[in-house]
Amino acid sequence: MILRSLECRFLTIALCDAAEPWQLGSQDAATPMMQGIIDLHHDIFFFLILILVFVSRMLVRALWHFNEQTNPIPQRIVHGTTIEIIRTIFPSVILLFIAIPSFALLYSMDGVLVDPAITIKAIGHQWYRTYEYSDYNSSDEQSLTFDSYTIPEDDPELGQSRLLEVDNRVVVPAKTHLRMIVTPADVPHSWAVPSSGVKCDAVPGRSNLTSISVQREGVYYGQCSEIRGTNHAFTPIVVEAVTLKDYADWVSNQLILQTN
Amino acid sequence: MAEIEIKTAPADFRFPTTNQTRHCFTRYVEFHRCVSAKGDEAAECDKFAKYYRSLCPAEWVDKWNEQRENGTFAGPL
Ligand SMILES: [Cu+2]
């Protein structure tokens, strides 16, 4: 198991787009957003280790040198201007170095003012999701909509992930700007796909937007992340990214299927 | 149906936030105001219809349509 997750980390035979047993790190990035999140994590980890080493050293040194045996009479220094200036400025600089990339990522993530090519509505239900592709409608009558149910535990075929596979996947074109509109029909839900760096809450009576642009074709797995009610944890999300041409074919096929 | 057109409602500078509830509602109201001003067949209104259909969950549209028929719709029509 550990070997498998190491394999997943370092020997990139296939990219990790679903959760692995004993996984410690993130899944591989499929969008620039997720790449940014992973990079920020690594940036912050640098400072984290720096602080850990520095604080541990001070702690161990203090315990080693200043105890009853080695130093029976304690010094009573209550004030030191230089050290106080240093220990105020230095952490602020570290915080600044964390804050700058963090805010840059945050603001680049809600790039709401980019014209998307496709709008997909993900409507959360207990315990399935309805996807509406309404760009191709000519009336209020829905023309392309389907439900996406979990494959039951005793049912998966060889190669399918247990409780992570659905009957109807969301098909999206790769390298295209997508607008996901997320809303529920009953309790709160959350539409989350780790590889694409998206976790968007679905709040009743409100529709939330998240934009993604999947950079490579593949199948991406996620799970509902707002877990209200029994069995709610078993509401997977499967995104299948295909070429724009295959997407167009899929849409026309679906439209023919659903109108007949 | 041979070729589909990959096109959707554009980003709107009036609604730059994650919360797009009002975006959908406004487009729905805009369509119905357009229809009542220019008549049922006006081609200019079609784009608003496309926008709200892209942005609004079908359930909301159904509910609002029903409310308009009953005269209880809350928006400025
Ligand atoms: Cu849910």
Could you tell me the domains of chain B?
21-70 (1.10.10.140)
260 residues of chain A, pLDDT tens digit each: 555 555 555 555 567 787 778 888 888 899 999 999 999 999 999 999 999 999 999 999 999 988 888 888 877 888 889 999 999 999 999 999 999 999 999 988 876 667 889 999 999 998 899 999 988 887 777 778 899 998 887 767 777 788 888 989 999 999 999 999 999 998 999 999 999 999 999 999 999 999 899 999 999 999 998 888 888 888 899 999 999 999 999 998 888 888 76
Q: Are residues A38 and A27 in contact, defined by beta-carbon separation less than 8 angstroms?
A: no
pLDDT of residue A89: 96
- Do A32-110 and A118-259 fold alike per CATH? no
Mean confidence (pLDDT) of chain B: 87
Instruction: Tell me how far apart the alpha carbons of residues A99 and A140 are, in angstroms, rounded to a whole number.
Output: 46
Instruction: Output DSSP code: residue A150.
Output: B
Using CB atoms and an 8 Å cut-off, which of residues 171-200 of chain A contact chain B? Answer: 173, 176, 179, 181, 183, 185, 200
Nearest Cα to Cα of residue A16 among A4, A24, A28: A28
Cβ of A251 within 8 Å of Cβ of B4? The answer is yes
- For residue A22, say if its preceding peptide bond is cis, omega within 30 degrees of 0: no
Instruction: Tell me how far apart the alpha carbons of residues A210 and A178 are, in angstroms, rounded to a whole number.
Output: 8
Nearest to A140 among B10, B54, B61 (CB): B61
Instruction: Tell me how far apart the alpha carbons of residues A22 and A258 are, in angstroms, rounded to a whole number.
Output: 41
Instruction: Tell me how far apart the alpha carbons of residues A135 and A115 are, in angstroms, rounded to a whole number.
Output: 14
- A156 C-beta neighbours (distance < 10 Å), count: 15
Task: For residue range B9-64, list pLDDT tens digits in order.
Answer: 888 888 888 899 999 999 999 999 999 888 877 788 888 999 999 999 999 999 99
Closest-CA residue of B relative to A184 is B57
Q: How far is the CA of B44 from the centre of ligand 1 (A)?
A: 39
Domain boundaries, chain A: 32-110, 118-259
Quickly list DSSP for A100-149.
Answer: HHHHHHHHHHT-TTS--SEEEEEEEETTEEEEE--TT-SSSS-SSEEEEP
Cβ of A252 within 8 Å of Cβ of B1? The answer is yes
Q: Which chain A residues are closer than 8 Å to B17 by Cβ?
A: 110, 112
Gap from A93 CA to chain B (nearest CA, Å): 31
Amino acid sitting at position A107: Y
Q: Which residues surround ligand 1, an ion (CB under 5 A)?
A: A 124, 189, 224, 235
Of 1.10.760.10, 2.60.40.420, 3.40.50.150, 3.40.190.10, the CATH number of A118-259 is 2.60.40.420
Residue A167, both tokens: 């009957």
Instruction: Tell me how far apart the alpha carbons of residues B34 and B77 are, in angstroms, rounded to a whole number.
Output: 9
Angle at the Cα of A175 from the Cα atoms of A138 and A203, rounded to 5 degrees: 60
Instruction: Tell me how far apart the alpha carbons of residues B32 and A41 are, in angstroms, rounded to a whole number.
Output: 48
- Helix, strand or coil for residue B4? coil
Length of chain A: 260
Compute the Cα dihedral for B65, B66, B67, B68 and give only its sign.
positive
- For residue A191, say if its preceding peptide bond is cis, omega within 30 degrees of 0: no
Cβ of B6 within 8 Å of Cβ of A185? The answer is no
Residue A75, both tokens: 């010094």
Q: How far is the CA of A42 from the centre of ligand 1 (A)?
A: 30
pLDDT of residue B1: 45
Instruction: Tell me how far apart the alpha carbons of residues A238 and A170 are, in angstroms, rounded to a whole number.
Output: 6
CATH assignment, A32-110: 1.10.287.90
Model pTM score:
0.83
- B71 C-beta neighbours (distance < 10 Å), count: 7
> Containing H/E element for A173?
strand A170-173
